[in-house]
Amino acid sequence: MSARRIFILWRHYIYSIKRNKGRLVDIFVWPVLELLVFGFTANFLNQEIQNEAIKLMAILLGSLVFWHFFAKISGEVYQQLFDDVLSKNLKNIIMSPVRVGEMIIALIGAACTKLVVSMGILLFVAKIIYGFNLLVDWRYGFLVLTLVLWGVAMGLLVSSLLFLLGNKAMTLAWVVTGIVQPFSCVFYSREILPGIFRMISYLVPSSYVFEIYREMIKTGNFNWQLWGLSIGLSGLYFLLGILLFNFFLKLSRKTGVLARI
């Protein structure tokens, strides 16, 4: 492992937003716009229902912000890799002294850096416009930890598909967070889901996070047992992500997919 190479790659991935203005919109502007829509919707519903106990604002905005922790980091991990594929630059990086572990650390490090800035802006806007502050309870940090680990794992799993399917994986990647969202029960309880969907949702770490969050809003209690389950599951997916990234990269040398990327 070389700290110099990790730093150089981290900087390379961070620069992707400086160089490409479209990516700036994707990371910073889009989440804020979504926050505005959900915030005003929650305001409207609160006025209509006139029932403070429902705490719609907290549930809708909080869930949306939490969801972005997962969606942004998973998207960033694979998007950084895809940026190099689209430039036909990935082979230059792979056929260099860079080791796979260094690449993975740099991908995760750069994605986390962008997440901190992106979520900082989102939290700031939520506080200024809606007076909604997610930083009031330190226990939320544990929920964020699960979502970041699960997001990184998902990013690595999607990235590994690139080495299995080639450029076709890029089309598939866009829908992955879309597929995960219904099973994450972001805005509704798990009980709403029909049988098979509910079974699948038990395998999705984010579903526990949103369950814990809603319970916190209603009762103030943090369900540590569910959190343990969610972080354990995320850890497993993270290990699986690293293993598959390595495995499919090696496999792509055998199948020739790497030469066609």
Q: Which residues of the chain form contacts with other proteins (CB under 8 A)?
A: 4-5, 7-9, 11-12, 15-16, 19-20, 83-84, 86-89, 91-99, 253-256, 258-259
Separation of alpha carbons 13 and 79, rounded Å: 10
Q: To the nearest whole angstrom, how small is the minimum distance from the Cβ of residue 11 to other proteins?
A: 8
Backbone φ, ψ for residue 133 (5° rounding): -120, 115
Q: To the nearest whole angstrom, how small is the minimum distance from the Cβ of residue 167 to other proteins?
A: 14
Name the residue nearer to other proteins (CB basis): 106 or 212. 106
Name the residue nearer to other proteins (CB basis): 92 or 189. 92
Q: Which of 15, 187, 221 is nearest to 106 (CA)?
A: 15
* CB 186 within 8 Å of CB 206: yes
Separation of alpha carbons 133 and 145, rounded Å: 18
Name the residue nearer to other proteins (CB basis): 54 or 164. 164
Name the residue nearer to other proteins (CB basis): 4 or 220. 4
With a CB cutoff of 8 Å and minimum separation 6, the contacts of 152 are 73, 74, 77, 108, 111, 112, 238, 241
Name the residue nearer to other proteins (CB basis): 17 or 154. 17
Kindly state the tokens that stand for 57.
């604002």
Q: To the nearest whole angstrom, how small is the minimum distance from the Cβ of residue 245 to other proteins?
A: 16
Angle (deg, nearest 10), helices 100-130 and 224-255: 140
Separation of alpha carbons 159 and 75, rounded Å: 10
Q: To the nearest whole angstrom, how small is the minimum distance from the Cβ of residue 175 to other proteins?
A: 25
Name the residue nearer to other proteins (CB basis): 22 or 131. 22
CA-CA-CA-CA torsion sign (124, 126, 130, 135): negative
Kindly state the tokens that stand for 21.
């203005």
Q: What b-and-e string marks burial along 98-131, b requiring 16 or more CB atoms within 10 Å of the CB? A: beeebbbbbbbbbbbebbeebbebbbebbeeebe
Q: To the nearest whole angstrom, how small is the minimum distance from the Cβ of residue 95 to other proteins?
A: 5
Name the residue nearer to other proteins (CB basis): 127 or 250. 250
Q: To the nearest whole angstrom, how small is the minimum distance from the Cβ of residue 165 to other proteins?
A: 15
Q: To the nearest whole angstrom, how small is the minimum distance from the Cβ of residue 261 to other proteins?
A: 10
With a CB cutoff of 8 Å and minimum separation 6, the contacts of 97 are 2, 5
